[in-house]
Amino acid sequence: MKLMEEKIWQECKILSGSVLKVSSFLNHQLDTQFIMELGKEFARLFAKEAPTKILTIESSGIAIAFAAGAAMKIPVLFAKKHKTSNVSGETYHSVVHSYTHDCDYTVIVESEYLRPGDRVLLIDDFLANGNALEGLLDIVSQAGAVAVGAGVAIEKGFQEGGKRLRASGLRVEPLAVINYMDDYGVVFD
């Protein structure tokens, strides 16, 4: 998606050669008009899969997933990283390793919101090692639902997540793929 690549070129910063900072528009400050366009693009890409629900993880996936859900007129469910006082009843959960923060965390979804028969589209801001999406896939599987694909705003193509997920049979649609990055810039696929 040209729009996504142009936005990254215009606004991203690269920290320590490996952290792509897109906080001005994607995951701290949110460019609402731009993200609504991303949502429409995901709706176009996955229309034939007829998803019934979108699943993402708090916090940085929420806005993109919400825009996609608004475009597709389907609900969004965001997995929580902490059990809060308003989580009651049965839950599905899965342990995810974060390479960014070098720790494990548990993602939690209340089971009443994900059911057999749901056709689930996964959405997230980044795909790198793929652990977050694999945690969501685990939750979809626990629910007896079907994952119809994964849409990510930015894939780091030089990391292994995308390859592994596609090899497992999942359709993965990134809006931009970065094949190389260093202190000076990024190279797209």
**Could you tell me the smallest distance in angstroms from the CB atom of residue 71 to its own copies?**
9
What span, in angstroms and rounded, lies between the C-alpha atoms of 72 and 82? 28
Instruction: Return the range that interacts with its own copies (CB under 8 A); candidates 58-66, 139-147, 170-178, 181-189.
Output: 58-66
Q: Give the C-alpha distances (Å, rounded to integers) separating 25 from 59, 64, 86, 95, 144.
A: 14, 11, 30, 29, 35
- When asked if residue 113 is in the footprint of its own copies (CB under 8 A), the reply is yes
**Could you tell me the smallest distance in angstroms from the CB atom of residue 19 to its own copies?**
5
Residue 16 or 169 with smaller CB distance to its own copies: 16
Q: What 3-state class would DSSP assign to 64?
A: helix
Interface map 130-159 toward its own copies (x if CB under 8 A): ------------------------------
Residue 54 or 148 with smaller CB distance to its own copies: 54
Q: Tokens for 150, please give them.
A: 């994964």
Between vectors from CA 36 to CA 31 and to CA 40, what angle results, nearest 5°?
Answer: 150
Residue corresponding to tokens 């490996």 = 18
- Contacts (Cβ under 8 Å, ≥6 apart) of 188: 5, 176, 177, 178, 179
**Could you tell me the smallest distance in angstroms from the CB atom of residue 59 to its own copies?**
4
**Could you tell me the smallest distance in angstroms from the CB atom of residue 67 to its own copies?**
7
Interface map 71-110 toward its own copies (x if CB under 8 A): --xxxxxx-x---xxxxx-----------xx-------xx
Q: Tokens for 75, please give them.
A: 């609900």
Q: Decide if 174 contacts 127 (C-beta within 8 A).
A: yes
Q: Decide if 51 contacts 148 (C-beta within 8 A).
A: yes
How many residues touch its own copies under the rule CB under 8 A: the total is 43
- When asked if residue 63 is in the footprint of its own copies (CB under 8 A), the reply is yes
Binding region for its own copies (CB under 8 A): 13, 15, 19-25, 27-33, 35-36, 58-59, 62-63, 66-67, 69-70, 73-78, 80, 84-88, 100-101, 109-110, 113
